[in-house]
Every structure is written in structure tokens, then in C-alpha cells.
Amino acid sequence: MHLQGCDASVLLNDTASFTGEQGALPNAGSIRGFGVIDNIKAQVEAICKQTVSCADILAVAARDSVVALGGPSWKVLLGRRDSTTASLSQANSDLPAPSFDLANLTAAFAKKGLSRTDLVALSGAHTIGLAQCKNFRAHIYNDTNVNAAFATLRKGSCPSASGNGGGNLAALDTTTSTTFDNAYYSNLLVQSGLLHSDQQLFNGGATDSLVRTYAATPTCFNKDFAAAMIRMGNISPLTGSQGQVRLTCSKEPRKLLYSMIYDHLPLNYTHSRSVALGHTVYSEFQADTTEIAADRDKHVQVTDLMVCMLAMASSVSVLLVLMCTAAVASAQLSPTFYDTSCPNALSTIKSAVTAAVNKENRMGASLLRLHFHDCFGCDASVLLADIPGSFTGEQGALPNAGSIRGFDVIANIKSQVEAICKQTVSCADILAVAARDSVVALGGPSWTVPLGRRDSTTASLSLANSDLPPPFFNLSNLIGAFSNKGFTATEMVTLSGAHTIGDAQCKNFRDHIYNDTDINPAFATSLQANCPRPTGSGDTNLAPLDTSTPYAFDNAYYSNLLSQKGLLHSDQELFNGGSTDNTVRNFASNPAAFSSAFAAAMVKMGNLSPLTGSQGQIRLTCSKVN
């Protein structure tokens, strides 16, 4: 795992003047495969000089290693660049140790924006590879949650004395040690996890049920492993002009040489490096070779090189070094997805959104909310209308009923786009772009929207009821709900800033203005006039979420929280003596910091488990399946 991001920092060798990450305690004697990566890099350099980064080579090699051992495949997002430094201290502090208990593991993964489900799914990488005696000695000799026969077997090659046989190896998965499958979880059920940290996943704690599920359902494990890899692959890659493309993966080119090379490249060479990851960054190096018609021999050569990783993939350490650079379902998303198939799609959407917002300012918030409520899945499922007697969608879910609107605007946009590009642009992508354009129309930041989502053919009322955070959630509930989707507490506060625009119904803030104590009395009184106490009286009466600038996308929402003027209970929870107070203060005083963070969080939210490739469909009408 790269600590600064998915940037190949772990490949940098120590020198007399530089100390990298390879000597960190979790890495020393554990990570290997550098020779294979060097060989791949040399062969790629021979066909594409200083074009393909070491970070991207790692990403593709990781995917192909899993496939070579019988595991799932995925398309790999490309366009990473290589770091110019590394951090020994971060590697020592951030990488989870084999001695970690469940609380430590959960916290370590949460620090990187990964949920408990991600933790358990990614730990399934231990279905292949080996571990050293020094890393499991304490477990087999001292722990009580280990199968006695299994412990005795392992003791045969791992003496109890520290320093004796510390480098001896044992398979992490004794059942199918060179096959990528779900046997790892079956081993945990019978207390045959090799590491202390492995068995912690099934030890009477919060992750037991998930281990049982993965042990019983291999397809579920593969699906969740893929979803977790999406989030792992999005950990702070360097793109655009950040970092560099190393000539040799193990060392940074001299600054002068790097400058000389790039100062003499044609402008379109550097311009071709996308500032966001996409899967068409390299014209002669793509993850999915089936998409390439020209230069097929070159692609076969590069792809065959990745099979070299099979020889090394029996060591789980190789996979763990590579894992964070891989992306899965979002790999097909690209800002240029419609450049050829529907070049006027984005301008058509923008014009329609601008017209709708100019007609009714509130519509900007409504379109943004539609995207939010869709994007704990980003597949336009929220747009599917109920069909009495045969289909119940998500629009009637408690967090949605009477709250989401703007369906007619989306339908209008869809009809305009269909008129120029028949069944090409998905409703899910229209929602994502319309949300961005709504924010911009109301004075907020812009961001590049990755495209290529497809539309679902179903919806889930129960998931909408369970996954969408309601207005009565406290801070702990909010953090948990967002963490389940891979978001940090800071990202939760950031996305809550969308409440700088739009309205809420009386029924959603009645309890807050009458019963809570963390509310400005004058503010509460002003709202009570339009929101009577009796339930059922004035339930749908509206009040602005941001009373200062209700139709301007700015940072006033956070300033309101500082003076206890959050409209919803869940709003004021962000500034109520808890762990997010400092983030609220920062955004209240620094609008640029909020805008930047919001844009980044929106891109991340838009990448939550989209349907891509041949999944789902492109609906002709957004409110119904084809």
C-alpha cells in the first residue's frame, strides 16, 4: 500500500541521501516482486519512452495477478503519475500490523476512507500468499482463538523462541494457497486464520456476519472485493502535472534531466496526460486489450508481460504492495466518454439546467439533491417511477417522499439529449452533470465529471430507507452512514455543505426547533411561526436550509452552524462540541477550502458503484426501464 497515495512511492530504493518506505517495519522482508516490475518497466519503455508511469504499471499488474490466480477481473483506470519522494514514518504509522485487533484495523482503514466492509473484503487478499513466522508466532503460541490442530501444524516450522526461524514461511490460506477464492473466510470460521489480525475478523465481533456471508457466497465476496478496490484505487493518485513519469521505477530521475526532457516535448504530449484518471490516457497502453483494433501485437506483448506476475503472486505481499493502485467499476468512467459518441451532450445539459434554475432558483438544489439521493449507488434508480401492482421504486422511501423533485427537468433534458444522440447518454450521467451545472449556476465550484455510467433496471425501497441519512441522525449516526459508503468524517461535513441551498419541510425540522437545546432561541422562534408544533399541521411548509443566502452556493451554511442556526437536527450535529467542530470552523472561515473539498467529494460520490460496460442499460425514458 502506498502511504502518500497510489504513486509508486514504495518502489523507490534507499540511497545515501534518501530513505524510502521499503525498510518500514510492515515492509521489511515482506514486500517483493521489484525485479518483475523493473522488467515490465524496461519493456514498456522500449515501446513508449517515458510515457507509462510505474504507478500505472503496478495497477495493471495487480489486476492481472488476481486474474492469473483465478480471481475477478476489472478495468483499470490509468493516468497516475509517480511520486518524487516517500515517507518511512508514514509507512510505519499507517500500514496495519499483523498484531492489530478489530478496533485497530477498523480505525486504520477508516483513516483512509475505507469502511468496515471494505476492511473485511480487502483482507480476503490473504486467500493467496505467505507470511513469515515472526508475524504469526504470537498468534499460534499465545492466542486462545486458534484451532489447536492448526496451531500445532504451524508450530512445526515456527519455533517459539524469538529470532529463531523468524523468516520461515507459511501459507495464509492453507486450503487453496495459490488460488484467489473465498477459502480464506472458510478458514476463519474454523479458527484457522494465520495472523492474529486475520482471526480478529471472526472473533465474536461486528464483522462475524460478513465473514460468514463471504464464506458461503463467493460471488458476494468478488462483488464486494471489486467495490472495495474502487475506493482503494482512488486514494490520492498524482495526476496532471503532479509528480513525474520515472524512467526507472526504483529511483527518481535527476531534476535537470527531467526538465530537459519535458522542456523539449511538443505541447500536445504533456496535454495528453489527463488531470483525472481515465482508461484512454495511453494510446498504446490500455488495461482492456480487447478494445484495441490497431497495434494489437504491441498490446499482446505488454499484456503478456503482466502474466510474469503469476510467478510472484504466490506472495500476498506483492498483491498488497499493488492493491491500492487498482480501480474497478469506475474504471470505465472518463470525462471524455461522450466526446465522440455525443459531443454536444454536456452543452445541451448545461443549457437546460441553466434555464431551469433561472426559471426557479430552488431547482438547482432539487437537482443536486436528486443526484445525492441517487448516488449511494449512482445508477438513476431514484428516477424510476412506481408502477401500481408490479413495481415499487425508491421515490416513496421515507428520506425521499415529498423531498425529491425535479423529475420533469431531468425528463426534459433526456428528451433533448435523445434528439441529438439516440440511446447514448444515460440518465445516471445526466443526473451527475446536472448536479454539477446546478451548483455552478448558483455560484458554486465546478468539477470534471467522469462519465460512462449506465442505468439500473431496478430500484430498492428498503435500501433507500436504510442507507439515506435521515434529518434526525446524530453525529455518530452520520459518520457511520457515510463511512459505510467509504467517506471520511471530513467528507461527510463537506457534502453536508450542499445545504447551503434549498429548502426543508416543517416535518423534518419540527423536533429540532421545539425540542432541541442546541439551537438559537430567536432562530427557533422565527421558524415556529410557519411550522406549528402539532404533527400533521403545516408538515409540508418550507424553510430555507441556509437563511443567510438560500439561493447562493457559498459557505454561509457553516457560519450559520457556528451561531446554532442549523435548520435540521443533523445539520447542527456537525457543530455541537464533537469531532467535526474544527472542520465546520475551517469551512466557515475559508470558502476556498470548502469549494475545493466539495468538488473533490462530489467526484468521489459520483464514483460510488456505478454500472458500467455491459451492466444495466441506457434508458430511453428515465422514469422507466426499456
In DSSP notation, 208-245 reads HHHHHHHHH-HHHHHHHHHHHHHHHHTS--B-TTSSB-
Task: List residues forming the annotated binding site for Ca(2+).
Answer: 374, 377, 379, 381, 394, 500, 546, 549, 554
Q: pLDDT by residue (tens digit) across 337-348?
A: 999 999 999 999
B/e letters for 569-583, b = 16+ CB within 10 Å, e = fewer, are bbbbbbbbebebbeb
Whether 373 is a known active-site residue: answer: yes
| Contact of 35 with 11, CB cutoff 8 Å | no
CA distance 258 to 245: 9
Q: Which of 19-33, 272-286, 299-313, 572-586 has the highest mean pLDDT?
A: 572-586
Report the half-sphere exposure of 454 (CA within 13 A, side-chain side).
16
pLDDT-based confidence at residue 4 (cuts at 50, 70, 90)? low
Does residue 488 come out as left (phi exceeding 0), alpha (psi in the -120 to 50 range) or beta?
beta
CA distance 366 to 355: 14
Q: Which residue has the higher pLDDT, 105 or 319?
A: 105
Task: List residues forming the annotated binding site for heme b.
Answer: 499
Q: pLDDT by residue (tens digit) across 174-206?
A: 888 889 999 999 999 999 999 999 999 999 999
Which range has the worst mean pLDDT, 113-117, 208-212, 343-347, 449-453?
113-117
CA distance 351 to 568: 33
Q: Identify the structural domains of the chain with CATH numbers, from first to last.
A: 9-91+237-328 (1.10.520), 100-233 (1.10.420.10), 345-465 (1.10.520.10), 469-604 (1.10.420.10)
Q: pLDDT by residue (tens digit) across 198-226?
A: 999 999 999 999 999 898 888 889 888 87
Whether the predicted pLDDT of 81 surpasses 70: yes
Task: List residues forming the annotated binding site for substrate.
Answer: 469
State the amino acid at position 91 in one-letter form. Answer: A
Q: pLDDT by residue (tens digit) across 146-158?
A: 999 999 999 999 9
Residues of the chain above pLDDT 70, percent: 85
R_g of the chain computed on alpha carbons = 26
Task: List residues forming the annotated binding site.
Answer: 374, 377, 379, 381, 394, 469, 499-500, 546, 549, 554
pLDDT mean across residues, the chain? 83
B/e letters for 539-548, b = 16+ CB within 10 Å, e = fewer, are eebebbbbee
State the amino acid at position 246 in one-letter form. Answer: R
Closest CA to 411 of 380, 372, 390, 374: 380
Q: Which three cell numbers stand for residue 488?
A: 471520511
Q: Which three cell numbers stand for residue 192?
A: 484457522
* Model pLDDT, residue 156: 92
Q: Which three cell numbers stand for residue 265?
A: 516535448
Mean pLDDT of 584-602: 93
In DSSP notation, 470-534 reads PTT--HHHHHHHHHTTT--HHHHHHHHGGGGS-EEEHHHHHHHHHH-SSS-HHHHHHHHTTS-SS
Backbone angles phi, psi at 237, to 5 degrees: -70, 150
Closest CA to 564 of 624, 513, 505: 513
Q: Given 196, 371, 373, 569, which residue is catalytic?
A: 373
> How many residues can be counted in the chain?
626
Closest CA to 283 of 270, 271, 294: 294
DSSP state of 387: B
| Contact of 470 with 399, CB cutoff 8 Å | yes
Q: Tell the residue number behind the cell numbers 423529475, with chain if given.
A: 407
